[in-house]
Structure 1
Amino acid sequence: MIEKAWGSPIEALEALAVRRPSDDPLLRAAMHIRSTLNVTDNAVAVHQDRLNALTRPGHVPAFYDLERITSSAADLRVAQAESRTALQAISHVVEAREAAVPAAPAPAVRLAQVAVARSGHAPRALGQAPDQPAPSAAVGRSGAGLGPRR
């Protein structure tokens, strides 16, 4: 997810996040959360292995193993929840990065910009010197439309 959002391999992004953290704070946050995700994924694997060892087929757990099975199952659920939370946090950072990238202006805004740009190339009024720029187009409401509002 991080590679796709930033368009570079993880190794390059890790180096960039460490060398210049102030250049892209969202990248630094994503890489920090990714390291947390690695830790929680390892914890999930450890708890799963422990639980599998305690509940292996053909093995009848002793009475004192029941508490270890229960605590291992609870630890596994906590580690899985932390892992899901870290993954969701990465997706939120990626969404924040996408929202921060300026989008293309709306068609109406582009048309207004083009109209303003063209107003500088309008034909000259009669009697206007060739080296004087053409008057720009008026933007906004006319003076006649202004008045008390209710």
Structure 2
Amino acid sequence: MPTTMLDQATAMIENAWGQPIEALEVLGVRRPSEDPLLRCAMHTRAALAITDSAVTVHQDRLHALSRHGYVPDFYDLDRITETAVKLRVAHAESRAYLQAIRRVVGAREAAAPGVEAPAVRLDGTPVLLLPADGCRLNQETGPPDSGASKDRARHQPDSVQPLICIKPF
């Protein structure tokens, strides 16, 4: 199980692209980029590696300044406070980078090649947009009668059905 934020990011990237991080690092630096989302994820992971290192340094420094049995001198109190503030900032930056990697992985999953967008109809056929509760149409009756649908029925084949169904988020 990943322990640091860098480990979490590495696991997320490896799972999303299905390859070890070493192979992805090689693919992520190629120009021109074949996969811009991979390039973005790898750059963000590099920045996360730097802030993860800063977190480790600040944690070690804070532990050294506040170890058991140690009585800090007066000037050490300022160092403890500054180190604690820098540690909080480094943690916040790491969380932001990790969230950015989550967003990139989410964008990659949303843009999966297996999911196709609906085809655009260029023949001028009207498209029926229905509310969420009107999505269940009876095949025999079709959409509710608006009066003009009788005229359109002569010009459209019987197999035309609503193409798009808008559902609330």
- Please say whether Structure 1 and Structure 2 have the same fold, judged by a TM-score greater than 0.5: yes
Q: Which digits, 9 at most, give the CA deviation of each residue in 1:62-121, with x for residues without a partner? A: 111100000000000000011111111000000011111244469xx8xxxxxxxxxxxx
2-structure distance, mates of 1:44, 1:21: 33
1:37 deviates by 0.8
- Of Structure 1 and Structure 2, which has the larger fraction of its residues in helix? 1
2-structure distance, mates of 1:74, 1:19: 38
What SS is found at the alignment partner of 2:44? helix
The letter for the 1-side match of 2:42 is M
1:145 and 2:152 are equivalent in the alignment: yes
Report the aligned-residue RMSD: 2.3
Q: Which runs of 5+ in 2 are unaligned?
A: 1-11, 119-147, 154-169
The letter for the 2-side match of 1:61 is P
1:7 deviates by 0.7
Q: Which runs of 5+ in 1 are unaligned?
A: 110-140
Q: Which digits, 9 at most, give the CA deviation of each residue in 1:33-66, with x for residues without a partner? A: 0001111110000000000111111110011110
1:88 and 2:99 are equivalent in the alignment: yes
1-structure distance, mates of 2:78, 2:105: 41
2-structure distance, mates of 1:85, 1:14: 21
- In the TM superposition, 1:78-117 aligns within 5 A as 78-104=89-115
1:21 deviates by 4.6
Question: Scaled by the length of structure 1, what TM-score is found?
Answer: 0.69
Quote the residue 1:32 is aligned against: 43
Quote the residue 2:54 is aligned against: 43
1:26 deviates by 0.4
Equivalent pairs, count: 113
1-structure distance, mates of 2:111, 2:72: 55
Structure with max Cα Rg: 1
Q: Which digits, 9 at most, give the CA deviation of each residue in 1:17-36, with x for residues without a partner? A: 11245211000000000001
Quote the residue 1:9 is aligned against: 20
1-structure distance, mates of 2:15, 2:23: 13
Quote the residue 1:18 is aligned against: 29
